């Protein structure tokens, strides 16, 4: 297998993981997140971005199976696109979940 082939497999793996989870998320929150894309630098997945009408402060990313500790990184929103840059690149083969977290305020 050549290097280019391997690179595409790696891209497909990470992308598919995100894609599947976002599709699952969209079943419940229709049209809130779309066009999920991974940014690669030197064959490392260094960021993920997606279109959304949600507030970037309410978005968190978790390693699947660990809901206690969100992935550390920087979240920025520009023109309806949220970009999340983890402090270390996403790991190959791991599954991540994009989650909307809203703090409910009780009004008396």
Partner 1 sequence: MKKILFSIVLFGMVLLTLSAIKKDNNPLTDDFIIGDTGIASINALSFGPNGILFIGDSKNAAIYALDTKDSNEKVKAEEISINDFDNKIAASLGTTKDNIKITDMAVNPISKSIYFSVNITDGTPVLLKLNGEQFENISLNNASYSKIELTDAVGVDETDSRGRPIRNWAIADMMYHKGKIMVSGLSNKEFRSTFRSIEFPFNNKQDFASLEIWHAAHGRFETYAPIKTFNVINIENEDYLIASYTCTPLVLFPLKDLKGNEHIKGRTVAELGGGNSPLDMIVFEKEGKQKFFMSNSNRPVMRIDYDDIVNFKDSLTEEVTEFAATDGVTYDNLPFVNVIQMDDLDDENVLFLIRDREGDLVLRNRTKQWM
Residues that bind partner 1 (CB under 8 A): 44, 61-63, 66, 68-73, 86-91, 94, 96
| Closest residue by Cα to residue 48 from 62, 59, 36, 33 | 36
**Tokens 């190959």 label which residue?**
92
Buried-exposed string 30-51: b where 16+ CB fall within 10 A, e elsewhere: eeebeebebebeeeebebbbbe
CB of 61 to partner 1, least distance (A): 7
Rounded to the nearest whole angstrom, what is the least distance from the CB of residue 52 to partner 1 in the complex?
A: 20
Q: Please identify, using beta-carbon distances, which residue of 30 and 93 lies nearer to partner 1.
A: 93
Least distance between partner 1 and beta carbon 36 (Å): 16
């Amino acid at each position: 297998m050549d290097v280019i082939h391997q690179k595409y497999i790696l891209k497909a793996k990470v992308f598919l993981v995100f894609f599947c989870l976002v599709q699952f998320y969209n079943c419940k929150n229709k049209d809130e997140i779309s066009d999920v894309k991974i940014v690669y630098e030197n064959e490392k997945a260094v960021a993920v971005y997606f279109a959304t009408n949600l507030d970037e402060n309410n978005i968190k990313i978790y390693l699947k199976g660990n809901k206690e500790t969100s992935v550390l990184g920087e979240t920025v929103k520009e023109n309806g696109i949220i970009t999340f840059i983890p402090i270390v690149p996403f790991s190959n083969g791991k599954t991540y979940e994009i989650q909307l977290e809203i703090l409910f305020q009780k009004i008396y």
